[in-house]
Amino acid sequence: MLDLTNKKILVTGGAGFLGKQVVKELVSAGAQPEKITIPRSRDCDLRKLDHCQRAVEQQDIVIHLAAHVGGIGLNQEKPAELFYDNLMMGAQLIHAAYETGVEKFSCVGTICAYPKFTPVPFQEDDLWNGYPEETNAPYGIAKKALLVQLQSYRQQYGFNGIYLLPVNLYGPEDNFNPNSSHVIPALIRKVYEAQKEGKKELFVWGDGSPTREFLYSTDAARGIVMATQLYNEPDPVNLGTNAEVSIKYLAELICELMEFDGEIVWQTDKPNGQPRRCLDTKRAEDKFGFVATMDFKQGLKNTIDWYRNHAK
């Protein structure tokens, strides 16, 4: 096991929704808070090589969470930005970390890297068996390229980089911006605003048939830190719950938990996104003992409560 006690750790995206939880988990696992560095985009642009080089100087471990990311709307509006930003951030950071002698690099990828039609539950070995779902392919392919980079740097240079594939995350402090949020925060905000304005209809993209899997942010953070300490192999690893939830059920459950008694109107002219998503989570359990523990309904309640308290 990698002892974190005296390690200098760089956490890109460490001030974000997932990053805050990862930092807490690192401290719980023995890392010293004063040795954790969180670069901020205003003075560290990871799309620039010299900024990456400066960020990794004297670091022992890099956990790369930073991403330019959003829901279907943002992916359709800015595919070029999502491809370029994510590829450049990751590729240059990995290269700089290798050059400066970083001991361990944990890269967090994306479920969007999987092919559009992947047998459910998704197994890591199916990652290359087809093209990703078109609406988020540029983002997914940019992040998937980092897996190839880490595997090739391991093969040629002996660089210890690992690659993790978390499913859709949710939890308190998520991104609730309607222009870039994912499905759970987007629905919570829509219901909240419908209630506030006395509306009796809730408009939701698609037809409700697609399925997703959701991982609570504290579970995801625990999985990332466990992998950083215990996993040292080239193969990618899924992080999830192995539980499939339809968008229809999700929307109905959020309405129920928020006591919204209006009608859900499905906007079937809007895209559904990938038809099904559910991960095979056996590798994470076998390799480093990770199992998600948060009950889905409780996780949603926590997220709703946080939003209600911070909506303004």
Query: Which residue in 98, 114, 131, 139 is the catalytic one?
Result: 139
**For residues 220-252, b (16+ Cβ closer than 10 Å) or e, as one string?**
bbbbbbbbbbebeeeebbbbbbbbbbebbebbe
Q: Is 230 annotated as a binding residue?
A: no
Q: Is 143 annotated as a binding residue?
A: yes
Q: Is 142 annotated as a binding residue?
A: no
Q: Is 282 annotated as a binding residue?
A: no
Q: Is 177 annotated as a binding residue?
A: no
**Who's near 279: CB < 8 A, 6+ residues apart?**
111, 121, 122, 165, 167, 213, 238, 239, 240, 241, 242
Q: Is 169 annotated as a binding residue?
A: yes
Q: Is 166 annotated as a binding residue?
A: yes
Q: Is 82 annotated as a binding residue?
A: no
What tokens does 134 get? 């078109």
Q: Is 187 annotated as a binding residue?
A: no
CA distance 82 to 85: 6
Q: Is 190 annotated as a binding residue?
A: yes
DSSP 34: G
- Which residue pairs from 283-289 have beta carbons closer than 8 angstroms and sit at least 24 positions apart in sequence? 283/124, 283/235, 283/237, 283/238, 284/223, 284/227, 284/237, 284/238, 284/239, 287/230, 287/231, 287/233, 287/237, 288/226, 288/227, 288/229, 288/230, 288/231, 289/226, 289/230
Question: Quick check: is 139 catalytic?
Answer: yes
Q: Is 30 annotated as a binding residue?
A: no
Q: Is 161 annotated as a binding residue?
A: no
Residue 191's alpha-carbon distances to 159, 260, 312, in angstroms, are 47, 7, 15
What tokens does 200 get? 């009796």
- Mode of pairing for the β-strands spanning 61-64 and 237-239: unpaired
- Mode of pairing for the β-strands spanning 263-267 and 201-205: parallel
Closest CA to 78 of 116, 11, 135, 160: 135
Q: Is 47 annotated as a binding residue?
A: no
Q: Is 14 annotated as a binding residue?
A: yes
Q: Is 208 annotated as a binding residue?
A: no
Q: Is 13 annotated as a binding residue?
A: yes
Known binding-site positions for substrate = 190, 205, 212
Task: Give catalytic residues, as residue numbers.
Answer: 139
Annotated binding site for NADP(+): 13-19, 143, 166-169, 182
